[in-house]
Amino acid sequence: MILLSIVFIIMRVLPGNPVLLRFEKNADPALIASYTHQLGLDRPLYLQYFDYLWGLLHGNFGVSMAGDFAPVGPQILSRFPATLELTFYAFIVAVLVGVFLGAFGARRGGAPDESVKVFGILIYAFPVFFLGMILQLVFGIWVHLLPVTGRLSAGFQPTGLSINGVQYQTGIYTLDSLLSGNVVEFIDAVRHLILPCLALGLVISGVFVRMTRANMMETMRSDFVTAARARGLKERTVVYAYALRNAMLPIVTIMGLQFAILLSGAILTETEFSILGLGTYLIDRINFRDYTAVQGTVVFLALLISSVSLIVDILYAYLDPRVRL
């Protein structure tokens, strides 16, 4: 809400007129005026603000200012699945790599631990698009193994689930292709996802490596771990079944914040791999000074982040019974 207001003020009060940007310099003033009126830009600012809020409450993100007056909401929704798919799989990569390496380092100590620590710092210092470029170069250009741009090969279009002739599409290609039972399409979608998810996931994994490592070290010193060892349990069981479960708790809480970092990274990854998601949409709309579209995207992201942090809180209560008391 606060952020929404800040966004509104930044986008509207400051110079730069979307209507003028659309027309040539010597356009008919009457035409410009009619456009301005149609967009409601000639109304007082506070009225514009309340109009916008009222619209949002009804799920209306406003119409595009870039000329065609297309509603922004559906556009955002059509771009969202690509971003969701990318961030979801990248997140899985990040958690798997991060938690495994972190736990491994904390368990072994010594040289393996130091290398895990250095890996955590190094990978976090990687610009995600640089890593993306290296992956593209190696796997896409030197070794022709994987596709380097887009979400699907030409000619593919997952149809989704069809029940009684009605199509239900999610826009998430890996899901849609499975629902329609098209394995070839599914494999194609996965192949397109591997490199971007690897790039984004590895960079984000740096944080998880560090968190897991630090938490594991603390947990490994706690009494219940000693007790488990004293009972003669296998070291592997103690580490991965006992200690890791407890060390995961603080990691779950930072997942919510990681989501924001993930979204930042997704913008760059989408640009690098030419994926038509929210990130590329945002950059595209900014170049048109399409206020409503930019604002809508930002609001959408804010809502998304709020819901993710809600989910994380619920998840935390589930994992840690103490919270429920």
Partner 1 sequence: MKQNNSRQHTASLMGNLLSPLIGKGRGRALMFVGIGIALVITLMSVTAPFISPHDPTVIGLGPVNSPPSAKFPLGTDQYGRDLLSRTIWGGRFILLVAVAAVLICMAVGLPIGLVSAYTGGNLDRTVALVMDSIYAFPSLVLAIMIISVFGVSIINEALAIAVVYIPTYFRVVRSQVLAIKEMPYVDAAKSVGANGPSILLKYILPNVISSTVVVATVNFADSILTTAGLDFIGLGLPVTLPDWGIDLTYGRMSLPTGSWWTIFFSGLMILLAALGFSLISEGYAERTNPKLR
From the CB of 85, what's the least distance to partner 1, in Å? 18
Gap between the Cα atoms of 102 and 95, Å rounded:
10
Rg, Å, the chain Cα set: 24
Gap between the Cα atoms of 196 and 149, Å rounded:
9
Nearer to partner 1, 133 or 233 (CB): 133
Nearer to partner 1, 228 or 275 (CB): 275
Gap between the Cα atoms of 184 and 177, Å rounded:
8
Binding track, positions 243-262, relative to partner 1; x by CB under 8 A = --------------x--xx-
Nearer to partner 1, 5 or 237 (CB): 5
- Sequence-distant (≥ 6) Cβ neighbours of residue 246 within 8 angstroms: 219, 222, 224
Nearer to partner 1, 172 or 268 (CB): 268
Gap between the Cα atoms of 160 and 168, Å rounded:
6
Which segment (23-31, 124-132, 172-180, 183-191) binds partner 1 by CB under 8 A?
Answer: 124-132
Gap between the Cα atoms of 205 and 188, Å rounded:
25
Name the packing angle between helices 244-272 and 291-319 (round to 10°): 160
Structure tokens at 255: 């997942």
129 binds partner 1, rule: CB under 8 A: yes
Binding track, positions 138-157, relative to partner 1; x by CB under 8 A = ---xx---------------
Question: What 3-state DSSP class applies to 171?
Answer: coil
48 binds partner 1, rule: CB under 8 A: no
126 binds partner 1, rule: CB under 8 A: yes
Which segment (67-75, 90-98, 221-229, 263-271) binds partner 1 by CB under 8 A?
Answer: 263-271
2 binds partner 1, rule: CB under 8 A: yes
Of the candidates 311, 252, 230, 300, which has an alpha carbon nearest to the alpha carbon of residue 61?
300
Gap between the Cα atoms of 40 and 125, Å rounded:
45
111 binds partner 1, rule: CB under 8 A: no
Structure tokens at 163: 């029940």
209 binds partner 1, rule: CB under 8 A: no
3 binds partner 1, rule: CB under 8 A: yes
- Site residues (vs partner 1, CB under 8 A): 2-3, 6-7, 10-11, 14, 16, 121-122, 124-130, 133-134, 136-137, 141-142, 214, 257, 260-261, 263-265, 267-268, 271-272, 282-283, 286, 294, 298, 301-302, 305, 309
